[in-house]
């Protein structure tokens, strides 16, 4: 939970999630249609999804969350 300061944590997570969903979820049908049309292989979209899963796994394994010190909000 250290990725964003406590004051903007919900906004940061919501923005990150929704931008990723729009970029990858919104373009997936177009990319799938392109791959099937270009390759002629109906399983081509599966390779696209598998590549994104591997990319996500690799990023998750090497990601280092920033250290913001104490997470408690002091007023």
Q: Which domain holds residue 49?
A: 6-62
Asked if residue 55 is part of any domain, the answer here is yes
Averages of pLDDT over each 10 residues, the chain, 75 residues: 75 89 86 87 88 91 69 54
Asked if residue 51 is part of any domain, the answer here is yes
- Is the four-CA dihedral 7, 20, 18, 1 of positive or negative sign? negative
Asked if residue 25 is part of any domain, the answer here is yes
Asked if residue 68 is part of any domain, the answer here is no
Question: Measured between alpha carbons, how far apart are the two ends of the chain, in Å?
Answer: 20
Q: Does pTM top 0.85 for this prediction?
A: no
């Amino acid at each position: 939970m250290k990725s964003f300061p406590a004051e903007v944590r919900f906004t940061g997570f919501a923005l990150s999630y929704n931008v990723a969903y729009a970029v990858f979820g919104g373009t997936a049908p177009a990319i799938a249609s392109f791959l099937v049309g270009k390759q002629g292989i109906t399983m081509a979209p599966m390779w696209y999804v598998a590549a994104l899963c591997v990319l996500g796994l690799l990023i998750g394994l090497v990601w280092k969350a920033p250290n913001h010190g104490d997470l408690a909000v002091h007023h």
